Amino acid sequence: MTVDVPFIAPGATLGVMGGGQLARMFVHAAQQMGYATAVLDADPASPAGLIAHHHLRADYLDAEALDQLADLSAAVTTEFENVPARALELLAQRRPVAPAAAAVAVCQDRAAEKAHFVRSGVACAPHAVIATPDQLAAVDDALLPGILKTARLGYDGKGQRRVTTRAQLADAWARFDRQVCVLEKMLPLAHEISVIVARAANGDVVHLPVQQNLHRDGILAVTIVPAPDVATEVVERAIAHAHRIVSTLDYVGVLCIEFFVLSDGALVVNEMAPRPHNSGHYSIDACDLSQFDLQVRAMTGAPLIAPRLHSPCVMLNLLGELWLERGAGLARRAPAPVRQDRGACRPQDGPPDRDRGHREPGRPHRARGRGASGFGGLVAR
């Protein structure tokens, strides 16, 4: 469905549910474009709340706080996928909300997410939903070895267990308190990539360049743009799949879709996040429009403009412990081309186990030549 929405001009206030580092970068982008900002987050020291014009310190489902946010804001967005969809539904009764509660609800549930990929005609890993003992018993042996993932509230490798036998599967499900889970067959991966798209209410879709990602312990460690090890045909397929997924979801806002490139060149979709993504932070410095600029444009009805990558780059994702305790060691262990480089280093406020900053070394020709695997040693294990 496509609709025309009135443009919300600078000078208005934009609201955001959540006050972490992603919200902080959204607030920066909105303020640079001339908007005031309001943050709803219970943490009195929330990174976004510290710099926003208004900080409502309350739970996401606090009725009075939601009313205040609606009073202040011309439109509202969300920082991350675990904001209750019900809160977004309540806000949408009074103000435009992007992304909508129904779209966020799909992203909050792995089973619903997989079903959406299937409806969109985009291949995902063979999988089974396990919600009952009968479903556990009916799991096809062909899905093993696999990864058992909780259907809800899992991110950055949390809520996941690798299993190779039916006994391990049963034990893992019991350890997850027999909540609804999705078992995904383990596949021979060559690379991990992501596509960040933005969709307007009128149906226009733009995307950032395809990013190649390297993870450590389930957490993003390195992003390289453009993706150095991925064939052009695979890149084009990933973009086409991402456009199809965001459009069939009738999504408005910024959406990150992660894909696996298999050893035989096949492409399967892994998961999606209804927000700007850590793998897209490089766009602040390497593109003429960042993912946060697109977030502001989508929610205000401004025209979406396709971002242009002006500086190919490598981005290192630094967590709090590394940033505070081992930052110098990271620089000493880096390969010479990165160690000698000028780079943009952007610290963020936040808890030690979350992203505290990113570094974007220059010299794009060296970054591309190294490939993703060459940067694995940059990240402390």
The pLDDT-based confidence of 4 (bands split at 50, 70, 90) is low
**According to the model, what pLDDT value does residue 357 have?**
52
Which CATH architecture best describes the domain 189-374? 2-Layer Sandwich (3.30)
The burial of 142, by beta-carbon neighbours within 10 Å (0-12 exposed, 13-18 middle, 19 or more buried), is given as exposed
Q: Residue 255's closest CA among 192, 193, 197?
A: 197
Determine the pLDDT at residue 216: 87
Average pLDDT over residues 244-265: 97
What fold, for 13-107? Answer: Rossmann fold (3.40.50)
Spatial contact of 21 and 43, defined as CB atoms under 8 Å apart = no
Neighbours of 281 (CB within 10 A): 26
Which residue matches tokens 């403009």? 305
Separation CA 69–CA 72 (nearest Å) = 5
**DSSP 8-state class, residue 208:** P
C-alpha distances (whole Å) from 321 to each of 154, 237, 299, 350, 358 are 21, 37, 34, 11, 13
User: Bigger pLDDT: 40 or 354?
Assistant: 40
> For residue 331, what pLDDT band results from cuts at 50, 70 and 90?
very low
Rg (CA), the chain: 20
Res. 305: pLDDT tops 50: yes
The predicted model gives 195-213 an average pLDDT of 97
State the amino acid at position 34 in one-letter form.
Answer: G
Q: In this predicted structure, what is the pLDDT of residue 105?
A: 95
pTM above 0.85, yes or no: yes
Does residue 267 contact residue 260 with C-beta atoms inside 8 Å? yes
Tell me which of 319 and 365 has the higher pLDDT: 319
Fold for 126-185, please state it: Dna Ligase; domain 1 (3.30.1490)
Q: Please determine, for residue 335, whether its predicted confidence score (pLDDT) is greater than 50.
A: no
For residue 256, count other CB atoms closer than 10 A to its CB: 23
- CA-to-CA dists, residue 249 to 243, 298, 305, angstroms: 10, 15, 21
The residue among 224, 251, 246, 250 whose CA lies nearest residue 235 is 224
Confidence of residue 82 (pLDDT cuts 50, 70, 90): confident
Taking alpha carbons only, the member of 193, 192, 196 closest to residue 256 is 196
**pLDDT band at 325, cuts 50/70/90?**
very low
Domain boundaries, the chain: 13-107, 126-185, 189-374
The chain-wide mean pLDDT, for the chain, equals 88
Tokens 């970054």 map to which residue? 367
